[in-house]
Structures are given as C-alpha cells and as structure tokens.
Structure 1
Amino acid sequence: MDFRHLGSTGLIISEIAYGNWLTHGSQVEEETALACVRAALDAGITTFDTADVYAQGRAEEVLGRALKGERRDGLEIFSKVFWPMGEGRNDKGLSRKHIVRGVEDSLRRLGTDYLDLYQAHRFDYTTPLEETMRAFEDLVRQGKVLYVGVSEWRAEEIERALRIADEMGFDRIVSNQPQYNMLWRVIESEVVPLCEREGLGQIVWSPIAGGVLSGKYKPGREAPAGSRAADPKHGHFVAGLTGNEALLEKVQQLEPLAAEAGLSLPQLAVAWVLQNSNVSAAIIGASRPEQVADNVQAAGVKLEADLLARIDEVLGESVKRDPALTVSPENVRGR
C-alpha cells in the first residue's frame, strides 16, 4: 500500500480507502462484510469511509464491529452527516442540532470516541453556512472530530466555507469527497483547481463507476447474478450506465489497454484516478474479499501519458465534464 497526505494536512492516509456505501448492512451479509474489511486490513488499507445514512446506521455498526480490536491510532475512520436519519423536522441537514446529534450517534455505532474526518455529505441551502461551520469547529475543539471535510460540494460552495473559516478563525475544511472516474470528471475544471490552490484533497468515490469500469457488464447480455445492476434494491444507481450499450462497448475496448499495462480493468480504473495529484485517496467498495485483493494492486501504479491519451480516445464523448452536474439537493427544508 502507498500513502498520501490528506490535502495539505499532516494526516497520512492509505491512497486506497475502503468504503461501505451499498454493501455493509445492506447488499452483503455481515460475515462477508467482515471478511472484506479483514482483506482490506491485510492489504495495508488503514482508511475507512462510511456515513450515518448508509443502511440507516447499520453500515457504521458493521464497520465498528469489523474494526473492533484493531489499534485505533493505526486507523483513519471517516463518516458523514446530512441526509435524513429519522422522520423529525431536524433529523436532516447541517443544522447545529443535526450535526451534534449525528456525530454522537456515529461515534456510538462505530465504537470510537473520535472521527479522523467528519464530512458534510451535501451542501445545505436551508442552514446558514456560518452555523454549520461553527458546529463543526466546536466538534474539533471537543476532540470528537480531528478534521472536517465536505462531499459533493461545488467550487463556489467550498470557497464560501473557506472564507467563513478564515474570517471567523475556524479550522478550514481539508477535503472534498466527489464522484470521480474515467467517465465522470466534473470536478476537473473548477473544484480541483480551487482545491489545489487552497490545500484541499479529494477522497474520490466510485472510481470503478459502480462496477461498470470492471468490464463485467457486457453489451447485449444480462447483468451478472450478484452484481449491483442485478440487485433490485441498488440496481438503479448504475442503470444509466449499464443500460447504455454504446458505453459498454467502449469499456470493453479498454480491456486490452489494461492488459498492456499489466493490470486488470478494475485496477486500471482505480490507478487512473490516482494519477490526479489532487486525489488523496480512492475509495473502493467490495462484496467479496477477492475484489479488495484485486483493487489494491492499483496502489503505486504509474500510468504513462500515452496510455492516458488512448483511454481518452476510446471513451470520447462518453465522458461527463460539466461542473453543473455536481448537484446538492434543494428540497431538504421540509421544516
């Protein structure tokens, strides 16, 4: 495993992180989830990412049990807050009330007394950003949170948070967690330049595009049994990609390029995002331990410029680049 600093901070994290968005407490049985975490630890992964809303708290609980007994100082545990965790008017968003309650619940479920990174899971248009930033600052001062980050924020939203922190003397946010892969590059034109300038690192999710860049979805064929696309609960997350026959054809054309580099297609996809120097870590998920063992082989891989150019040539207009595609929900008021 190779390691990188989280942005310009002193925190060192594994450049491949393990995440449990659609797996723990939902897609796979706990025994398999525990085996996947063990495979991650055995491979040298020290950074684990989750969120309160994943399986409505169950993902945090499973991860807490999986990491029990590990040396806490040797791990970096990340979680997030924003999405509804109940039916109450204040059970969502980035108000002080929801943030304070959210971190206490996450710490309990994870079985730890602090989080290395606590992230605002989306931007909240209904709460003053100053209130949100002060609540996060208080958690840092209390030692419950070491660093604060955001997820899927636009460049102008990140910049506002940085300016408020500077004006009010708060610790700055240090990271952003966006979707980023060969097919989804919407952070490159605005978010990445801002973050490079201001010292934030990207902790990217879906480097394999929900499994689409693994090559397992073949054009004209049914989704493989046990895959995300075949899952009635989670298939909609990748339906727009797996239903695109032209795109699946292009993904198949990446297979020989991966082979030339001595990589599997999933390894190529993970290695591709790690070529971006603003990326601090790529989050992988897994429904089987073997997937973890395969994906981590992308750590430390250097891809040649010619190979990167040929990938772009194959994918062509299938790549999404418009920064406006980073969307924060505007319907969370409900108060």
Structure 2
Amino acid sequence: MEYNYLGRSGLRVSKLCLGTMNFGVDTDQAEAFRIMDAALDAGIQFFDTADIYGWGENSGATETIIGNWLAQGNNRRERVVLATKVYEKLHKPLYGPNDEKGLSTYKIRRHLEDSLRRLQTDHVELYQMHHIDRRTTWEEIWGAFEGLVNQGKIDYIGSSNFAGWHMMKAQAAAQNRRFLGLVSEQHKYNLLNRLPELEVLPAAQDLGIGVIAWSPLAGGLLGGNALSADKQSRRSRESAEHLARHRDQLEAFDRLCSELGEKPANVALAWLLAHPAVTAPIIGPRTVEQLQDMLRVVEIKLDQATLSELDRIFPGPGGETPEAYAW
C-alpha cells in the first residue's frame, strides 16, 4: 500500500479509503469483519463511515458494526485512521426538533457522543461535515469543533459536498480564529462527473485541502459489469437511463481497459489518484473478493497517452474557471 498526506496536515493515510456504507445494508456483520480485516492486512488503514449509514430507522448500524470490530482488540483501533460524519437527520426522537439536518453546536456535540459510543472509542481522527449548512454561522461551527479538538475527541475536521467558495469561507473564518480549519473535502468525483474540476479541486489545492473522492465508480457504471445483461435486468429506471446515456463511452472505456490489460474499476480509480488534488478515492467493496480485486490500483501508473484517451472518452468541463467558459 502507498500513503498520502491528508491535505496540509501531517497525517498520512492510505491511498485507498475503505468506505463502509454497505455495512449493515448489503453486507452483514460477519462479512464486514472479514473486509475490514483484509483491508487492514493489505495496509488500508483509512476507514470512512457516517452516523447516517444504515439509513432511516437503522441509522447508526454501520458505526455499530465498526465498533464491534474494533472491540475485538489486536490493536485494531490503534492501527486505523477513523473518519465519520455529522449533519443528517437520524430519526432519534430524543433529539426532538434538533434531529433535523444541520450543524448546530448542540447537534455536533450530541451526534459525536453517540458516534463514539457506537464506535466504542473515545476519539476519531477525522470528523466531517456531511454537507454545507447555509444557516449556521462559522463562528458557531468552528467554536463547536475547537472545543472537541481541545477535549481530544477529534483530531482533524473535514467537509463533504462543499462548493469551492464554501471551503474558502470556512478557511477564512478558521484563520481569523487561528484555527487549522479543514484538512479534507469529500466530494463526488469520477470519470463521468468531472464538474469538480471547475472550482472544487482548484480551490482544494490552493487551500491545502485533500480531496477524498466518493462514488469513484459512478454508482457501478465504471466497474466493468454495467454493460452485461444480468446487471441490466436488476437496474433501477434511473440507473438504466444513466447506462443508456453513457453506453458509447462505457463501451470505449471497456475497449481501452482491455488494451491495457486492467480491470475498468481499477483504471477508473487509478485515474483519480493521478490527480494531484486527490488524496484517496473511497472504495466500497461488498465482499472480500471485491476488495482484493482493487488492491492493485496503487500499482497502476497511467501514462500520458492513456490519460489523453480517457479525456477523449470522458471529456472534462474544459479546465478551471473562468477559462472553461470565458476567454
């Protein structure tokens, strides 16, 4: 395994981040344990989760599974860089009106306490805002996070689904408080969704914020099986529409991967790692076998000819703003 620094922080994390969104949903606890064991054995020590995973009334189930795994000992907790998130509604009656989406001091503190209890730990290395809160002030948000950092309950703060100007405002407010602020931004970025190249990625690079790419395989479309008949039969209408829209691109992508002798999923992930703003893509294996297939990604170095061909198949937005749409 290879490692990157997380943004401008001194923290090093594996170039592949283990996503756990399937745990407790499509992947039961026993298989989740095997996946986490295999990931750690392979050198993947960056684990990402969220308090909402498990979904609906089952929110928190994923953190509970991870906590049960950590509780087995063998220095699991000491070996893992653990990241979770706050923002979403968790369907907890005891929170009353404060269960709604947002980032109040109340919610940040209470939800972290609940996450730590489910994860069976006293701290997390990275605590992430799952979405921008357009109402709560940065004075309140940073005040809440500063207190938790000072208490040793979190080491670093990250964002997710922020625009470039959101990150800039957040960092300006943090700087005024002489506080480190954001070290990472978790963002939807893949070959089929290159809009972040307009502003989010340039802003992250300028600010020293490491980008953690979620949905790196575009919901499975870039995974290599999207064009097979058996997969199509199980697709939702929305997925089928996406497939129909991108069929020509996916067929060209499959041909390129065949020429390279690599699996499409691994090429899509290697393309992300070739971007200097990207710290790690989030992989979400449902089985140990899927995880093992992805371990080769860090060994794949795409040459300029291949990168140019990927640009031809999956055109970007035209570069950074304003050049992408102005003189």
Same fold judged by TM-score > 0.5? Answer: yes
Counterpart among 61, 64, 68 of residue 67 in structure 2: 64
Q: Which residue of 2 aligns with 1:187?
A: 196
- Between the aligned partners of 2:269 and 2:102, the Cα distance in structure 1 is 31
* 1:206 equivalent in alignment to 2:211: no
Kindly tell me: are residues 321 and 77 of structure 1, through their superposed partners in 2, closer, same or farther at Cα, counting changes over 3 Å?
farther
The residue type equivalent to 2:107 in the other structure is H
Per-residue CA deviation, residues 48-101 of structure 1 (Å, 9 max, x unaligned), is 000000111001111222233242232100000000012521123100000000
Change in Cα spacing, 1:252 to 1:34, as seen in structure 2 (3 Å) is farther
| 2:85–2:129 contact (8 Å) kept in structure 1 | yes
Q: Give the SS at the match of 2:17.
A: strand
- Paired residue secondary structure (1:244): helix
Q: Is the 8 Å Cα contact of residues 212 and 278 (structure 2) preserved in structure 1?
A: yes
The one-letter amino acid paired with 2:193 is W
1:259 CA displacement: 2.9
**Equivalent-residue separation in structure 2 for 1:306 and 1:84 (angstroms):** 46
Query: What is the alpha-carbon distance in structure 2 between the residues aligned to residue 9 and residue 247 of structure 1?
Result: 38
Name the structure, 1 or 2, with higher relative contact order (CA <8 Å, separation 6+): 1
3-state SS, counterpart of residue 256 of structure 1: helix
User: Does the 8 Å CA contact 1:201/1:279 hold for their aligned counterparts?
Assistant: yes
* Cα RMSD for the two superposed structures: 2.1
* CA distance in structure 1 between the partners assigned to 2:240 and 2:149 by the alignment: 40
Residue 213 (structure 1) shift? 0.2
Cα pair 2:149 2:156 within 8 Å, conserved:
yes
Matches within 5 A, 1:137-148: 137-148=146-157
Letter of the 2:170 partner, please give it. A
Q: Which residue of 1 aligns with 2:174?
A: 165
Q: Is the 8 A contact 1:186 1:320 kept in 2?
A: yes
- Unaligned 5+ segments in structure 2 are 322-327
Q: Is the 8 A contact 1:17 1:46 kept in 2?
A: yes
The one-letter code sitting in structure 2 at the alignment partner of 1:89 is P
Compared with structure 1, are the counterparts of its residues 67 and 269 closer, same or farther at alpha carbon in structure 2 (3 Å cutoff)?
Answer: farther
Aligned-residue offset at 1:135: 0.5
Q: Which residue of 2 aligns with 1:82?
A: 87
Letter in 1 for 2:216: P
Give the alignment's TM-score, normalised by structure 1: 0.87
Tell me what 1:2 maps to.
Answer: 2
- Following TM superposition, by how much is the alpha carbon of 1:242 offset from its aligned partner in structure 2, in angstroms? 5.6
Partner SS for 2:24 = coil
CA offset digits 1:26-53 (Å, max 9, x no partner): 1222222222222212221000000000
Q: For residues 97-136 of structure 1, what are the structure 2 equivalents within 5 Å?
A: 97-136=106-145
In structure 2, what residue type is equivalent to 1:83?
E
Check conservation: 2:17, 2:44, Cα contact below 8 A. Answer: yes
**1:187 Cα deviation after fit:** 1.5
Q: 1:96 to 1:323 in 2, by over 3 A?
A: farther
The equivalent of 1:247 in structure 2 is 246
TM-score (norm. length: structure 2): 0.89
Whether 1:216 aligns to 2:219 is: no
Whether contact under 8 Å (1:218, 1:249) holds in the other structure is no
Residue 332 of structure 1 corresponds to which residue in structure 2?
Answer: none
Count of matched residue pairs: 311
- For structure 1, which runs of at least 5 residues remain unmatched after alignment? 325-335
